[in-house]
Chain A
Amino acid sequence: MRFIDEYRDAGKARRLAAQIRELCEPGRQYTFMEVCGGHTHTIYKHGLEDYLPEAVTLVHGPGCPVCVIPMGRVDDAIAIARQPGVIMTSFGDMMRVPGGQGSFLDAKAAGADIRMVYSPLDALKIARTNPDRTVVFMAIGFETTAPSTAMTVLRAAAEGLANFFVFCNHVTIIPAIKAILDSPDQRLDGFIGPGHVSTVIGCRPYEFIASGYGKPLVCAGFEPLDVLQSVHMLLRQLAEGRAEVENQYTRVVPWEGNRKALEVISQVMEVRPYFEWRGLGFISQSALRMREAYAAHDAERLFEVPGVRVADPKACQCGEVLKGVLKPWECKVFGTACTPETPIGTCMVSSEGACAAYYNFGRFTRQRIKETSTT
């Protein structure tokens, strides 16, 4: 596949890995956060950590939209889905995410009409073909996905589709990164920046990370060579004593972002004063809601959303794991109360979450520890 296969080349990876080792200062440990769950996925899918020296640790950040949705919002969405006449539409990712009262899949089993869609446009199509039903789109995602939702709302408004509604859960990445940077115990050396969010917001919004916090950020693509090259770029900045925002993903990300997409977002949505993030708590100005002008398509206004608040269990230490303070296995409930089948915290919810990944792949680590200890 063009623009994919050429960035999965093992030969180039080996050479890049050798360069990465060269750049590591002896005795120094480097901790980088890949902000985006898509990068976490790339890292596991391709076994990328095999190419990294011991000195480099990657910490999986908060950029997984389904992981950070608070349980109460899932419960609210299910409450909407249970209303008579409602068709709830959702991306496949959301289907298994548990709220306090189960997941979409559970609600579907109990009789709610919940359908999976690939695009918000498909939800719109369902609204068109079911004029006597109320079709709600469970909107999740960061700035990459928000313009698609906004554009779909504009289309619904233009077509006068009065039965199409959005339950808006879009979040924004910058406040989350700032929350992590502001936590006193974080020990990050740099960031692998979210490439696809950056197609929309561009690279400028990250500049405070370099100028205000002195940490480098490299905006990265999603193929394994992209990620490896970004690690290389981060290490080179550190070796040269620089902290800058750099763009590795130039083939897709324009430095200035996508002005049209940003305009569409701000036409339809506005920033919420605060929003709860699973594992990170309330973060101010970190999410979007529908503007008054589009109230006619806002599920939050149409339905009396219960506004359930389900506190993250006290024992859950996802916040610390997300900030890179704790390794997944150091959490008190990891592997006992909290497993992929019965997740408690955000990091265990999605297969991309740090804890779920470690739970599933840790057996491999164990094998390695045993091998090292016996040889």
Chain B
Amino acid sequence: MTAEHTAEWVERAIAQAEPGSAHPSRELQVLERIERARRRKPKVREELITLAHGAGGKATRTLVEAVFLEAFRNPVLESLDDGAALDVNGSRMVFTTDSFVVSPLFFPGGDIGDLAVNGTVNDLAVCGARPLYLSAAFILEEGFPVADLRRITDSMAAAAARAGVHVVTGDTKVVQRGKGDGCYVTTAGVGVLDRKITLGPSTVRPGDAVIVSGPIGEHGITIMIARGELDIAADVTSDTASIHDLVATLLDTAPVRMLRDATRGGVATVLNEIAEAAQLAIMVDEPAIPIRPVVNGACELLGLDPLYVACEGRFVAVVDGAHAEAAVDALRRHPLGEAAAIVGTVEADPAGLVLLKTVFGGTRIVDVLVGDPLPRIC
């Protein structure tokens, strides 16, 4: 937005503003006005795509709703779920796709190949589906070492074997040197809905419990460190993993309302999506959130909030409150769920908000970020 635009905006806003008075009810009016503004149809104001549009926060949401949803609108897409539930000749399928761009391509705990398989398997799993088949498309940069490509495909094959899925179709394109980041991978996946259950925000009720399946933020911190720009070292590895088996354990134990894969934007973003879609409140208990000390240390040092840091092998589940303890016990017996914990509860009010009861004993709102969480010095 240019300076002139800003000036115009201001003039218009003043013209619209009610005559100012310091009456207490005016504060409510102002707050109501903000709520209305928040509900307005999203509009992309930028003329160019910025990195914020890919960060999974508000900017991503706006781009998806204002550009993609506008162009492709249909009832299946409108739910903006991790995958699309489809009826195909009488069987219930889930279809999903995801692109992977990560720098560096190889990092402690995994590489872009693991991510590409696990990410799509997890999107299917959190829709309640049993993952079956994947596609894999590669965009390779001229000059990319074949040995590196083999490393990536070996990881993909191993991850697919672990998840019990097959890569059944694919594609390759090569772009000129300098036009790509070595290697981008896009996977799509289909799974089948075996269970007679309905997952989704409409099933969420006050009194339900919110579960996080393991320690948060490890993938995001690992990548940030592996980039080397921050010049820090720490013993932390990516949490990338296929969680379909862990999800199955949960679905076997407790009535589950909905599941989300906590990737970009971290647990905070997922919790907001749930609260917003269900029009209920989520009250999170900060001391209950599983997080390793080293991730906490990195976050303190860089001024980041771990709630917004990406995971690649963790889910957030809303389950019937009465069965939450049993569900967590079952998850903890699974190697990927050892640190699973009940982190909060669903409440009726204030609808659409995520509140955090802090270690210190205060309460604050956990909002969605506009873009990536950036390290800060102040």
Contacts and interface: CB of A to CB of B under 8 A. Distances in A.
Q: Do chains A and B touch in the complex (CB under 8 A)?
A: yes
B30 A335 contact: yes
Contacts of B173: none
Contacts of A333: 10, 13-14, 17
A47 B360 CA distance: 8
A8 B371 contact: no
Interface stretch (B213-221, B260-268, B348-356): B348-356
Nearest to B349: A367
Contact of A1 (B28, B37, B297): B297
Given A332-B20, A336-B16, A369-B27, A38 B378 contact: yes
Contacts of A361: 364-365
Given A117-B229, A342-B1, A367-B349, A96 B370 contact: yes
B235 interface: no
Interface size class of A (residues with CB under 8 A): 35 or more
Contacts of B69: none
B378 A66 contact: yes
Interface in B70-129: none
Interface in B132-178: none
Contacts of B365: 360-361, 363-364
B353 A363 contact: yes
Nearest to B281: A367
A344 interface: yes
Nearest to A52: B362
A338 B16 CA distance: 13
A85 interface: no
B50 A367 contact: no
Contacts of A329: 26-27, 30-31
Contacts of A266: none
Contact of B50 (A108, A117, A225): A108
A132 interface: no
Interface stretch (A87-95, A246-254, A297-305): A87-95
Given A10-B361, A46-B358, A47-B360, A315 B14 contact: yes
Interface in B1-53: 1-3, 6-7, 9-14, 16-17, 20, 22, 26-28, 30-35, 37, 45-46, 48-52
Interface in A326-373: 327, 329-330, 332-342, 344, 352, 359-367, 369
Nearest to A117: B229
A362 B31 contact: yes
Nearest to A350: B378
B371 A96 contact: yes
A337 B9 contact: yes
Given A92-B376, A116-B374, A364-B355, A122 B6 contact: no
A50 interface: yes
A8 B293 CA distance: 16
Interface string B284-328: 000000000100110010110100000000000000000000000
B14 A332 contact: yes
B53 to A, nearest CB: 9
Contacts of B22: 330
B363 A50 contact: yes
A141 B377 contact: yes
Interface stretch (A98-106, A172-180, A181-189, A257-265): A98-106
A266 B363 CA distance: 43
Nearest to B21: A330
Nearest to B301: A118
Contacts of A195: none
A250 to B, nearest CB: 21
A335 B7 CA distance: 16
B360 A1 contact: no
A198 interface: no
B14 to A, nearest CB: 5
A71 B12 CA distance: 21
Contacts of A106: 46, 48, 50
Contact of A100 (B2, B20, B33, B377): B2
A109 B375 contact: no
A329 B30 CA distance: 7
A95 B374 contact: yes
A236 interface: no
Contacts of B229: 115-118, 122
Given A1-B300, A115-B229, A102 B1 contact: yes
Contacts of B378: 37-38, 64-66, 91, 93, 141, 145, 352
Contact of B359 (A8, A102, A314, A335): A8
A332 B17 contact: yes
A28 to B, nearest CB: 20
A366 B34 CA distance: 11
Interface of B: 1-3, 6-7, 9-14, 16-17, 20, 22, 26-28, 30-35, 37, 45-46, 48-52, 58, 229-232, 293, 296-297, 300, 302-303, 305, 349-350, 353, 355-365, 367, 370-371, 374-378
In order of increasing CB-CB distance, the 3 nearest A-B pairs are A47-B362, A92-B374, A337-B13
